[in-house]
Each structure stands twice: as C-alpha cells, then as structure tokens.
Amino acid sequence: MNVRGNNKLKTGMRGEIIAKKFLQKKGYKIVEQNFRTKYSEMDLVAKKNNVLVFVEVRTKTNEHFGSPEQTINKNKINRLVRSAQAYAAYNKYFGNFRIDAVCIILNPDSSPKRITHYESITF
C-alpha cells in the first residue's frame, strides 16, 4: 500500500508492527493480521494458552488530545465483539476467546514511548 504522505495510516501501521513484536515477545502466536469482517477490521489475532485473542492496537504520537485508551469507545468495543463472533463463526472456532487492547505512544523517531497491554477490555 502506498502510504507516502498519509501520516495517520503510517502511525497506525508502525504501531501494529510494534504491537506484533511486543506480543510475540510475550509468548503470543500471531494468527492473523488486519483481518476484515463486515463490522470492522481486526488489527491482530493471536493465540496463547489455547485462548484466541483479538487485539485492537491504538497508536498515538502524543497525548495532548487525549490518551489512546480514551479513543476506544463503546461503539468500537461493540463492533470488536461482533467481528470476533464473525471470525469465530467463519473459522468454525468454538474455543475460548477474548478481546485485548494494546495502546502505544510513539516518540518522534517512531520508537515506542509507552506500550500498555489491556487484557479483556469487554470485562
């Protein structure tokens, strides 16, 4: 994808790469990346301890206009839940699954300033 000049997309994709490495280091196996359903796009789908984990990655370059956590609203969570169900149905998956969020703040040089992993945001 041509992302030249599209800063928002660039930031997002940079964040997804960081999150992927971060989760792999934590022992997660990445199953799927940018999986699209009719409800939304799943940034990452991972697996650990026989639990399927759908991960929403939120990346921001600064916190001047709110934290990445604040951008995950009720509507987004609802869409994530439906996407997860759609994914499970499509793949005939009947095991446990949960939805996580990884929030990232980037430094100006695109290195991560803070990575926070929230488990089970629908709790």
Partner 1 sequence: MLVKVCSVSNSGLKTIGIEVEVNVASRGLPALEIVGLPSKAVAESKERVKTAIINSGLNFPQRRIIINLAPADVPKEGSCYDLPIAMGILSSGIECSLPQRSLFFGELSLDGSLRHTKGALLLALFAKENDFANVFVPKASANEAAIVKGVNVYPVENLNQLIKHCSGVTSIVPAEYRESPQDEFDIEFNMAEVLGQEQAKRALEISAAGGHNFLMVGSPGAGKTMLARALPGILPPLSEKESLEVTKIFSASGRIPPEGSLVRIRPFRAPHHTVSPAGLTGGGTKPQPGEISLAHRGVLFLDEFNEFPRSVLEALRQPMEDGRLTISRSQQRVEFPARFILAASANPCPCGYLDHPKRVCHCTGREIEKYSKRVSGPLLDRIDLHIKVPVVDIEELARFEPLKKRQTTSDEIRNRVIQARQVQQERFKEEGIHTNAEMKNKQIAKYCVLSKPVKQLLVQGGKKFHLSARSYYKMVKVARTIADMDKSSEINMAHMAEALQYRLRIKS
State the sign of the Cα–Cα–Cα–Cα dihedral 101, 118, 71, 86: positive
The interface with partner 1 within residues 41-70 (CB under 8 A) comprises 69
The least CB distance from residue 80 to partner 1, in Å, is 12
Of 122, 117, 121, 123, which Cα lies nearest the Cα of 23? Answer: 117
Name residues contacting partner 1, limited to 72-111 (CB under 8 A).
72, 101
Stretch that binds partner 1, among 21-29, 45-53, 85-93, 113-121 (CB under 8 A): 113-121
Question: Is 10 or 77 the residue whose CB approaches partner 1 more closely?
Answer: 77
* Smallest distance, partner 1 to C-beta of residue 7, A: 26
Q: Which residues contact 7 (CB under 8 A, 6 or more apart)?
A: none
For the bound state, the minimum distance from the C-beta of residue 56 to partner 1, rounded and expressed in Å, comes to: 10
Residues forming the site for partner 1 (CB under 8 A): 69, 72, 101, 116, 118-123
